[in-house]
A and B are shown apart, each in its own frame.
Chain A
Amino acid sequence: MDTITTCKLLIAPLIPLITSLLIMATGKKPNLRETCIIAGALTTFATVISLFPHVMHGGTYDYNLVTIIPGISVKFHLDGLGLIFSGVASTLWIFAAFYCIGYMRGLDEHAQTRFYVCYAVSVGAGIGAAFAGSLFTLYLFYEIISIMTYPLVMHHQDAEGYAGGRKYIIYLMFTSKAFLLPAMAITYVMCGTLDFATTGVLNGIFPATANPLLVTITYLCFFFGFAKAGVMPFHNWLPDAMVAPTPVSALLHAVVVVKVGVFSVCRIMLSLYGVKLLQDTGLGLFTAYFVSFTILCASVIALTKTNLKARLAYSTVSQLSYIILGVAMLTPNSITGGLIHIANHAFSKITLFFAAGAIFVATGKKDISELGGLGYRMPFTMIAFGLASLSMIGIPPVAGFVTKWYLALGAMDIHNTILLTVLIASSLLNAGYFVPVFLTAFFGDPPPGDTATGSLEKQPLILFMVVPLFITALISVMLGVFPDFLINITKLMGGA
């Protein structure tokens, strides 16, 4: 199908920005402000969804905003990969918007207007990155996200918050300046342009005559430069960023921020280098092995964490690498597995974080050992947590199973038993750190002195949190039972 030029690609990221201005203007009236947020989230969702049908039928959208210097321009291009990411981000923003109300009001947090402004702009920049049609556009939105999430990480403005924020910005800025900037410059020198290839995933923009050494160097620069992907050794900012309020951890550090990193790496692999070049140079397999280390290592670290959010953070580090692993194996099956995990992980992980936040607001508990008996006081929360855990472990019929099925198929396609072993081992590790949480909540004893009983889920503010998290858990199940929709989208990007 054909390519349509439409400024909708510009409007969709702009709506959150306009929302943020409205939030600023209505900052003094909390009810009105939060109405604006929900309206903004719904409008964004509607705009993004309106782009689906055309792309699902094999078409693309295009919009060239401005050319800065020849070959470097702000332009948008929407294809299957962008569709998955923008769809996920805009859908989850709606749930997160309701959840935020419960969380921020429940804890009576300070500086809520600043919080909501930064939150909205970050989501908008995430959608902008999804629509990016050139490396420069991607970089632009990537950096806006870094800057706008920085105040969110430091939100509490205490020593811990400052330390986390400092680490956050140092990791992200250092990697982007030290690796992305030279990589972009060298790419421009070699290719004369920073626009992504739009002719499918087989061929990238690098000319056949390009020096293999330089191609490798730039690839590694890109790979490490997008540190938001959380690939070791540049993953350490993520656990420390968990000092942020839980809605930030949930939407941003489980969905928008880290997914932008992963999305960028996938984009680089599929639209800048192309499957063929990565296969010829062996960089695909190198990437697969490299992220395998992250998958296993982060899972092992997660086992040692007793703080619920810290465990979830390391689980995120591990799960993100599945996505890269899938794309890096460079077979149709594995690419499908990797790309659908962008959505599967998002819905499951946001449920887990939402649950952790709801528990914190309702009971003030952060540690896994304190959760004993909580399953009876917050049944919906813990059931949702359980379902999302099953997804992370990869048990049917929840979404994560589909991912692992396709990843395993991909590993078998290239006859690689090492990668297959990694997948099996990491599933066991996932089970190792998620099952105890669930078991403690339903079968553990309450901590000594904690004798309160009765449901905690009846207060209105808690309901603002429990309802969204239960719905996202149900969506996780739906994605597992009816994976066709997502798989059809991945077909546009060379998936099976």
Chain B
Amino acid sequence: MEKYLILNTLDYPILSLTMIIPVLGALVCMFMKNETALKVWGLIVTLITLAVSIPLYTAFDATTPLYQFVENRPWFPAINLNYVVGVDGISVLLVLLTTFVMPLCILCSWRYIKTRMREFIFVTLLMETAMIGVFVSLNTVLFYIFWEGMLVPMYLIIAVWGGPRKDYASIKFFLYTFTGSIFLLVAIIALYITTGTFFIPELMDHTYPFMFQLWIFLAFALSFAIKMPMYPFHTWLPAAHVEAPTAGSVILASILLKMGGYGFLRFCLPIAPAATMACVPWMIGLSIVSIIFGGYLALGQSDMKKLIAYSSVGHMGFVTLGIFLLNPEGIKGAILQMINHGVTTGALFVCVGLIYERTHSREISDNSALGMMMPLFVTFFGIFSLSSFGFPGTNSFVSEILVLVGAFREMPVVGFLAIIGAILAAAYMLRLLQKVVWNTSDGHAHHGDDHGHGDGHGGGHHVLADLNLREIGTLAFLTFFVFWIGFYPKPLLGMMDVSVNHLIQQVNAGMACAPTAALDHFAMIKGIGAKIAGM
């Protein structure tokens, strides 16, 4: 077992600590009554978790594909079950994303959540533990426990603090995700019966017969595709996003969706490499459909949250596309795209939440012409919108160009199809931005002084207050990451470099046992691409 692991180089169990702090915080908050104190407590706990997780970044050894900061304790020896957690270059960034986003979730709920504050903080903190747990588990049982553990808190966040159609949305979310996890469980048990271990690195090293791999792949892929969400399993997402409170949307968009992508990288590719190869054309096809269909639907939305939700479908399409290109650029682009989507789309949901607190509407038409009244807000909103459609110099551009380079290297046709998604992204984000900043519907001129204090608002609402210090802080924090990753993604890419290459080696090594017929059409498509590219 030890050959896959580097035991913790720090002198304290850092991963367990990041998981346990939110739980302890949640327990303490059960005994608190004052709402402000609860909010402050939630913020403190999430900030402490963030602080504790920082060594994951600073002490991470980017030169090895092995698992790091590992804790390995016997748990249930009878069935060879250990409590084992650790991170590698693929998961470490997602853990950091989680600890980084959670304080922002508390901050953006400051005024939004008006009832049952204690329960809200409680559930949110439990959510954090479960999410970190999913990314650090090196054991399928542990993984499954955390995976299921997220379901109830998230259901509650939507069902208790959600909008008018919260019942419909929360149940739809629950059923979709739960259906997926049943298949996940089946696959986990099947793997245990075949190999006698729950330890993920060992599962990766096993060679399975092709048909077995195919079934395992399909079971995992269904579960992860629902979570991503990938077309045609995406319909729960817009409903959940629209009804969820701001914090719920941010958690959903920034972290929960990433678990699908993470699952593909951690389970599907290394455990079932031959099946992955055989399914590549299908997965890439679905990714392209997600990219184009998501973008196309986003173009037609009048509800801001729905628009951003559909844009997520498109962005996640880029993630799966990158993953199944199976080359270093594609996979690195996909992981970076997950981080970027977490930052940018999370920020956009925070922005929408801020407007909603002021105008009590998410309709674009009710929130137009804010440019004159809320210049600061509009500046931030503009930055995140540009980032969302991959403006050069922002974070999404880097991941988008990486995935595109990966695509053009393997199959140029796919690259050109993905470009359609990029065009649509620019179209719907600019449409949204134009309507929010300017008012294009009435066409009358706003003749005010230079900083026009709300003399011409077509939306018919009163003078709106610009951002306060807490809101500026939240958004400025996210803006920093937009530009940092946009101009200097080297540290992040460096962290995942070795692990990604190792993953690709695993896939290539595992291909050997695939029946040639299954690989034929993959090779054919790839061959055509190579011929066109002349490489």
Contacts and interface: CB of A to CB of B under 8 A. Distances in A.
Given A111-B450, A154-B438, A189-B408, A68 B419 contact: no
A181 B404 CA distance: 9
Contact of A210 (B393, B412, B534): B534
Contacts of B447: 110
Interface stretch (B108-116, B169-177, B245-253, B422-430): B422-430
Interface stretch (B132-140, B156-164, B488-496): B488-496
A157 B438 CA distance: 8
Contacts of B493: 69
B445 interface: yes
Contact of A173 (B409, B416, B430): B430
Contact of A185 (B405, B426, B534): B405
Contacts of B233: none
A38 B261 CA distance: 53
A158 B444 contact: yes
Give the 9 A-B CB pairs with smallest separation, nearest first.
Answer: A211-B534, A159-B443, A185-B404, A113-B450, A140-B392, A177-B423, A162-B440, A185-B408, A173-B426
Contact of A174 (B398, B415, B423): B423
26 contacts: A28-B451, A69-B398, A69-B493, A110-B445, A110-B447, A110-B449, A110-B450, A114-B450, A140-B392, A143-B391, A143-B392, A158-B443, A173-B426, A174-B423, A177-B426, A181-B400, A181-B401, A182-B408, A182-B419, A186-B408, A188-B405, A189-B533, A190-B533, A211-B533, A213-B532, A213-B534
Contacts of A113: 450-451
B426 A214 contact: no
A68 B487 contact: yes
A45 interface: no
Contacts of A474: none
Interface in A315-373: none
B452 interface: yes
Contact of A184 (B393, B401, B407, B426): B401
Interface string B482-516: 00000111100100000000000000000000000
Interface string A48-78: 0000000000000000001111001010000
Contacts of B415: 182, 185-186
Interface residues of B, number: 44
Contacts of B402: 69
Contacts of A66: 487-488
Interface of A: 27-28, 66-69, 72, 74, 110-114, 136, 139-140, 143-144, 147, 154, 156-159, 162, 165-166, 169-170, 173-174, 177-178, 181-182, 184-186, 188-190, 209-211, 213-214
B336 to A, nearest CB: 10
B450 A158 contact: no
A170 to B, nearest CB: 8
Contacts of A170: 427
Contacts of A178: 419, 423
Contacts of A111: 446, 448, 450, 452
A186 B426 contact: no
B452 A162 contact: no
Contacts of A190: 533, 535
Contacts, number: 114
A154 B488 CA distance: 34
B386 interface: yes
Interface string B361-401: 00000000000000000000000001000011100001011
A162 B393 CA distance: 27
Contacts of B409: 189
B434 interface: yes
Contacts of B426: 173-174, 177
A174 B493 CA distance: 29
Contacts of B398: 68-69
A68 B446 contact: no
Contact of A147 (B386, B422, B445): B386
Nearest to B332: A69
B423 A140 contact: no
B485 to A, nearest CB: 10
Interface in B98-148: none
Contacts of A112: 450
Interface in B425-469: 426-427, 430, 434, 438, 440, 443-452
B328 to A, nearest CB: 11
A245 to B, nearest CB: 13
Nearest to A178: B423
A165 to B, nearest CB: 8
Given A69-B398, A136-B392, A169-B430, A189 B443 contact: no
A173 B431 CA distance: 12
Contacts of B487: 66, 68, 74
B489 A69 contact: yes
B533 A157 contact: no
Contacts of B445: 110, 156-158
Most-contacted residue by chain B among A111, A140, A178, A210 (CB, 10 A): A111
Contacts of B400: 181
A181 B415 CA distance: 10
A212 to B, nearest CB: 8
B532 A181 contact: no
Contact of B419 (A139, A154, A177): A177
B283 to A, nearest CB: 20
A66 B489 CA distance: 10
A184 B402 CA distance: 11
A189 B330 CA distance: 12
